[in-house]
Structure formats: C-alpha cells, structure tokens
C-alpha cells in the first residue's frame, strides 16, 4: 500500500474559532492507483493533499507514505522526503517566469547529488515524455497554458517520484488543453506506473481516475470505482 492514513485530524484557528478541516479521516491508496478527491469547497481536499505531500502535518493521527511515517518528522526531514518521493502539479503551474522550460524542469534536481550531465539526461527525458523537446529554450510567457502545465508535469516527474499530487491540474485550462493534460497523466499512470492523487471539481477529469473519493466536512462520505 502506498498511502495509509489513519485517524487524521487537522484544525486551523481563525480568531477565537477553531475549524476542524479533517475529522478522523482514514484513507488508503494502492501502489500505481489514480485517486480523484472530490467534494465541495471547504471539505478538506487540498488540506489532505498537503498532508500526503508532507507540506503540512496533522494535529492527530498517522500518515504513512511509501513506507515512511510522516508524523513526527522535522521540517528539514520532510523537505528531504518530499524531494525523493513527491511530484507536485498545481493549477497555476508555479513556473518561474525568468527561467526557460528546461531550467524550470531542472530545479528539483539541483538539490540532488547529480552531475551536470546526469541532470541534463533527466531533464531531456522528462521534457520528451511530455512532448516538449522542441520548447526547451522557451520561457513560460512564450508557452500556452497547456504547454506550461506540461512543463510543470515534467518538473514533477524529473526526479522519478513515488507518486504525483495534482491540485486541480486542469482547472485553468480550456477544454482541449485539459483533455491533453488528462491524456498525459493517464499515460504516466498507465505506461510508467505512477500513482496519482488528484483534487478536482471537474467530473470529467475525475472519470480519468481509477477511484473517486468524496469528502464532506472533513470526512470521507463515500468512495466509488470509476466504470470504464
């Protein structure tokens, strides 16, 4: 099992009010599985994604990912763990505008003990997988939204992470570009065996996954397999 989360509680404080965003949540994700997290705004989807990626920590409970317990680790330990295991894909791409596509993809490798030649090999391979080998010297402003998201996906896979976390990866794209991104994620899932946990409000995007997990008020209301 890739992800085993048990009794997860997460709260935030606003003024004198305590908001219980996740409430004794349990979740399992299998190796190589694509899970879509759905639910109304405020149901805890992005909070759960951040906990699975080691960006945030729960107040209570256990989160074991890729065999490692995340609860109780220091910020530095979590940072090193993320670099090894997690590829992030965001709705707004989070590319650095002053860097080329190639340089944006290279960023996660700068922390790894790799030679320049090894970094080049990894970056070239990632950009080839997403179909942007001919755009390596372009800056984000010179690329379409779909192409920018492809660069972001290349950046997410360049370290060969254990799994991908995608937060509304098609939310800022037109219908055609969104379909292309879903096809690309599907290929990474199918051909490269990548597990994906994806937050989405789009029922069509969710249908690309293996399983839908519906959150309501910080708990899992129901799960369902996607029918092909």
The H or E element containing residue 105 is helix 101-106
pLDDT on residue 146: 95
pLDDT on residue 183: 95
10 Å Cβ neighbour count for 134? 9
pLDDT on residue 112: 82
Report domain 3-225's class: alpha beta
| Residue in the structure block whose two tokens are 């391979």 | 125
Instruction: Tell me the C-alpha distance between 100 and 108, whole Å.
Output: 14
Asked whether the whole model's pTM tops 0.85, one would answer yes
- Provide mean pLDDT across the span 71-80: 94
Residue 83, pLDDT > 80, answer: yes
E strand segments, 124-218: 163-167, 195-199, 211-216
pLDDT band at 48 (very low <50, low <70, confident <90, very high): very high
Average pLDDT, the chain: 94
Question: What share of the chain has pLDDT > 70, as a percent?
Answer: 100
CA–CA distances in Å: residue 209 to residues 24, 94, 134, 202: 25, 24, 29, 12
Q: Of 18 and 152, which is predicted with more confidence?
A: 152
- For the chain, domain boundaries: 3-225
pLDDT on residue 228: 64
Instruction: Tell me the C-alpha distance between 184 and 151, whole Å.
Output: 12
- Provide mean pLDDT across the span 8-18: 90
């Amino acid at each position: 099992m890739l992800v085993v989360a048990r009794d997860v509680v997460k709260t935030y404080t606003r003024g004198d009010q305590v908001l219980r965003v996740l409430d004794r949540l349990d979740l399992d994700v299998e190796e190589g599985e694509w899970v879509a997290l759905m639910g109304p705004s405020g149901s805890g989807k992005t909070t759960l994604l951040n906990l699975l990626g080691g960006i945030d920590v729960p107040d209570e409970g256990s989160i074991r990912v890729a065999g490692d317990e995340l609860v109780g680790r220091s910020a530095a330990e979590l940072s090193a763990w993320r670099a090894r295991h997690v590829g992030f894909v965001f709705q707004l791409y989070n590319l650095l505008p002053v860097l080329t596509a190639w340089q944006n993809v290279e960023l996660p490798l700068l922390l790894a003990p790799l030679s320049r030649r090894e970094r080049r090999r990894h970056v070239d391979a990632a950009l080839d997988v997403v179909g942007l080998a001919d755009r390596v010297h372009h800056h984000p402003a010179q690329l379409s939204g779909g192409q920018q998201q492809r660069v972001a996906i290349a950046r997410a896979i360049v370290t060969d992470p254990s799994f991908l976390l995608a937060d509304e990866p098609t939310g800022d794209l037109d219908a055609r570009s969104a379909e292309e991104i879903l096809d690309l994620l599907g290929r990474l899932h199918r051909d490269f065996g990548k597990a994906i946990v994806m937050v989405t409000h789009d029922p069509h995007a969710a249908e690309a996954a293996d399983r839908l997990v519906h959150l309501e008020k910080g708990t899992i209301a129901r799960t369902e397999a996607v029918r092909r």
